[in-house]
Amino acid sequence: MSTMGSSSRAIVCLCAILMLSSASPNSAGITSRYVRKLAASEDLPEDNAHVKAPEEYNAPQQVHIHQGDYEGTAVIVSWVTQDEPGDGKVLYGQAQGNYTTFVIGEAYSYSFYNYTSGFIHHAVISGLQFDTRYFYAIGSGNVSREFWFITPPESKLDTSYTFGVIGDLGQTFDSLSTLEHYMNSSGQSVLFVGDLSYADTYPFHNNIRWDTWSRLIEPSAAFQPWILTAGNHELDFLPEFGETIPFKPYTHRFHTPFRSSNSTSPLWYSIKRGPATIIVLSSYSAFGKYTPQYKWLLAALRRVDRNVTPWLIVLMHTPLYNSNSDHYYEGEPMRVIFEQFLVEYKVDVVFAGHVHAYERTHPVSNVQYDIVNGQCNPLVAESSPVYIVIGDGGNIEGLSAESTRPQADYSAFREASFGHGILDIQNHTHAFFTWHRNQDGEKVAADSAIISNKFWS
């Protein structure tokens, strides 16, 4: 990092310390009075330039990448060819146009009610160097397309890294605004907390809207990994029409490196990325004691070495703490079972979606509660995780505008507006989180807080 970069980072941190009285657990929570559009948004038409299919025969489309292993030295490249399988190669190298190596992926299609997908390709590039820019090309002839990505830095104690955080995106004009705002940020990869395309809001879960959504995110997701979480809108469960396999479109289209973290399901997995271990949970899969997800989570938490990845981040869809009237208390079953482990293993921050609004809590826990002692008031404690609800990506269902009153003591800031978040991990002790509403300029933070590392504080 340059001297100028280090100075700028220090200035930002100092300004945050001086300005963020709302980050203190002793300060009253804030319910924003900002006035925004509350009406449901409108989906982008299928012929909109941001989502329409390419005109060229069998041109690769819907390109996106995901981290391909636990350590961060592999990438999953995924794309669709509509007309035929075509060339399944991914050429790659460190110089644009000079591709010395290639991998060949797998390709298949799936059917959902009256829809049949194009040919979905997944190829894994492995053995990559840390913190290195790679160029890659897919397709051949006049439909060949080139992209690039940067691998994460090697996981070390004081590695810095910046994550974007998005949830409940959909494919409306507001979704496009969220995406454009994020792409002008410093985010290096996206933590996505579920509810992707909202295709299930259409009759028969029109899977064409999975295609349009994947084309919408390509300008970001083809160049940096989106670390995905499954939400309720990914279930696509339609038994009355013969569709009895949950998550069918989602798991066909989006691959995760679940096996590298010893998971038995692509819906829950973990990765290391720079200074953080990221654990992804599935709110809509069994999580009770003795279930595969329960057993896996305990093993994943024990596996984390905070001397290597000092930050521990958990992603889920349904929030464990939420003072909005929408989906209030829905996360309570998972909180009762999992919160004790999040506190015990000193998780730093838990990101969730589902509620179409933004909310940040103080560090909070309620592990002392049981039905016998009657102690049911969450305690603000610096050793507990911060919970951030960020289901405000812009989807067609609109905003969750009604909050519970009075504002809960654990709630630090809440607002019903569309936007995205940025988590800037600066060293092994502190990270700087900012939330950006779409109505503001890209660099304007509507809420911000310094998050202290629970293990190293």
Residues 111 and 166 in one domain: no
Residue 110, domain member (yes or no)? yes
User: Is the model's pLDDT at 432 over the cut of 70?
Assistant: yes
Question: What would the pLDDT profile of 233-248 be if each residue is shown by its tens digit?
Answer: 999 999 999 999 999 9
Q: Which of residues 37 and 311 earns the better pLDDT score?
A: 311
Residues 163 and 100 in one domain: no
CATH number, domain with residue 309: 3.60.21.10
CB atoms within 10 A of CB 88: 18
Please report the pLDDT score of residue 27 as a whole number. Answer: 53
Residues marked as catalytic: 327
Q: Which residue range(s) make up the domain with 163?
A: 157-194+267-452
Q: What is the Cα gyration radius of the chain?
A: 21
Amino acid identity at 277: T
Share of the chain above pLDDT 90, in %: 84
Residues 181 and 321 in one domain: yes
Contact by Cβ (8 Å): 222, 64: yes
Picking from 168, 127, 174, 171, the residue whose alpha carbon sits closest to that of residue 151 is 127
CB atoms within 10 A of CB 413: 22
User: Is the model's pLDDT at 12 over the cut of 70?
Assistant: no
Residue 215, domain member (yes or no)? no
Mean pLDDT of all residues belonging to the chain: 92
Domain count across the chain: 2
Residues 73 and 166 in one domain: no
Residues 345 and 405 in one domain: yes
Structure tokens at 414: 């809440």
3-class SS string, 97-127: CECCEEEECEEECCEECCEECCEEEEEEECC
User: Is the model's pLDDT at 114 over the cut of 90?
Assistant: yes
Please report the pLDDT score of residue 411 as a whole number. Answer: 95
Please report the pLDDT score of residue 393 as a whole number. Answer: 97
Supply the pTM of this predicted model.
0.92
> For residue 84, how far is the Cα from the chain centroid?
31
Of 134, 150, 166, the one marking the end of a domain is 150
Residues 145 and 164 in one domain: no
Residues 294 and 350 in one domain: yes
Contact by Cβ (8 Å): 233, 246: no
Of 150, 182, 214, the one marking the end of a domain is 150
Structure tokens at 403: 């909050």
Residues 82 and 187 in one domain: no
